Amino acid sequence: MSRYLKAIILFAVIGIGFWIIQQIFVTERPFSVQDITIEKQIEQRTLDHLLAEDLSLSTSIFINQLSEQLHRWSEQDFSDQTLFQKFKDELSEHPHYQSFAIIEDGKPTITSGSLKNIDVDKLTHKHQKNLYSDPYKVNDNYYMLIGERLSDDRIVIGEANLSFIKEYMQDLASVADTNGSFFVSGNNPDVKWETTEDLPEDLRSETIPELGWQIYVHSDRNENEMEREYIEHQAVIKFRDNETASIWFSDNPDINIIENKNPLFLIESKQEETIELINRLRDDRQLAIVEPNYTLSKQVSMPVASVKPLESVKPNDEFFQPYQWNLNQIEVEQGWNIANGEQVTIAIIDTGVDPKHADLEGKLVHGYNALDDSDNFADTHGHGTHVAGIAAALTNNVTGIAGVSWESFIIPIKVLNDKGEGSSYEVAKGIYWAVDHGADVINMSLGDYHSSDLLYDAVRYAYEQDVVLIAASGNDNVQDPMYPARYPEVLTVAAVNEERNRAFFSNFGDHIDVAAPGEHIPSTFPNNHYVVMSGTSMASPHVAGLAALIRSNNPSLKNDDIYRIITSTATDLGIDGFDPYYGFGEIDVLSALRAAHEQ
pLDDT tens string 285-329 = 999 999 888 877 665 333 333 333 445 678 899 999 999 999 999
The reply to whether 383 belongs to the active site is yes
d(CA 153, CA 133): 19
Q: Are 83 and 77 in contact (CB under 8 A)?
A: yes
Q: What is the per-residue pLDDT for 494?
A: 97
State residue 223's pLDDT score: 40
Q: Which of 99, 537, 540, 552 is catalytic?
A: 537
Nearest to 66 by CA among 159, 172, 138, 136: 159
Is 350 part of the annotated catalytic residue set? Answer: yes
Q: Does pLDDT of 279 surpass 90? A: no
- Residue 74 · residue 47 · CB < 8 Å: no
Is the distance from CB of 178 to CB of 213 less than 8 angstroms?
Answer: yes
pLDDT of residue 226: 40
Q: What is the pLDDT of residues 119-150, one digit of tens each?
A: 888 998 898 889 999 999 888 888 999 999 99
Neighbours of 163 (CB within 10 A): 13
Q: Is the pLDDT of residue 224 over 70?
A: no
Residues 6 or more apart whose CB falls under 8 angstroms from that of 449 comprise 19, 20, 21, 38, 474, 480, 481, 482, 483
Q: Is the pLDDT of residue 195 over 90?
A: no
Considering the candidates 218, 381, 383, 529, report the single residue annotated as catalytic.
Answer: 383
Reported confidence tier of residue 363, pLDDT bands at 50, 70, 90: very high
Q: What integer pLDDT is reported at residue 412 of this predicted model? A: 98
* Residue 301: per-residue pLDDT: 30
Mutual angle of helices 383-392 and 536-553, in 10-degree steps: 40
Read off the pLDDT of each residue in 460-478 and give the average, rounded to a whole number: 96
Predicted local confidence at residue 270, as pLDDT: 83
Residue 253 CB partners (closer than 8 Å, separation 6+): none
- The secondary structure element, H or E, covering residue 58 is helix 44-74
Give percent of the chain with pLDDT exceeding 90: 56
Whether 537 is catalytic is yes
Whether 56 shows a pLDDT value over 70: the answer reads yes
* Cis, bond preceding 263 (omega within 30 deg of 0): yes
CA torsion through residues 107, 110, 115, 118, sign: negative
Mean pLDDT of 276-293: 89
For 319-598, CATH gives: 3.40.50.200
* pLDDT surpassing 50 at residue 379: yes
What pTM, to 2 d.p., does this model score? Answer: 0.83
**Average pLDDT of the chain?**
85
So where are the chain's domains?
A: 3-42+227-297, 57-222, 319-598
- Angle among Cα 222, 186, 188 to the nearest 5 degrees reads 50
Q: What is the pLDDT of residue 184?
A: 82
**pLDDT at position 293, please?**
87
Query: If pLDDT is split at 50, 70 and 90, which confidence band does 186 have?
Result: low
Q: What pLDDT shows up at residue 202?
A: 63
Which residues have CB under 8 Å from 224's CB, separation 6+?
Answer: 17
Least confident of 262-276, 357-371, 571-585: 262-276
Residue 202 CB partners (closer than 8 Å, separation 6+):
none
Residue 311: per-residue pLDDT:
55
220 pLDDT band, cuts 50/70/90, is: low
In this predicted structure, the answer to whether residue 552 has a pLDDT above a threshold of 90 is yes
Distances, alpha carbon 530 to alpha carbons 79, 360, 399, 405, 478, in Å: 34, 12, 11, 18, 30
> Following CA atoms 17, 54, 413, 403 in sequence, which dihedral angle do they give, to the nearest 10 degrees?
-140
pLDDT digits over 498-535, tens only?
A: 999 999 999 999 999 999 999 999 999 999 999 999 99
In the predicted model, is pLDDT for residue 335 greater than 90? yes
Tens-place pLDDT, residues 209-219: 888 898 888 66
Dist CA 36 CA 131 (whole Å): 54
Distance CA 246, CA 252 (A): 10
Distances (CA, A) of 98 to 71, 72, 92: 16, 16, 7
Q: Which is catalytic among the residues 177, 350, 379, 448? A: 350
What number is the average pLDDT over the span 412-416? 97
> Is the pLDDT score of 39 beyond 70?
no
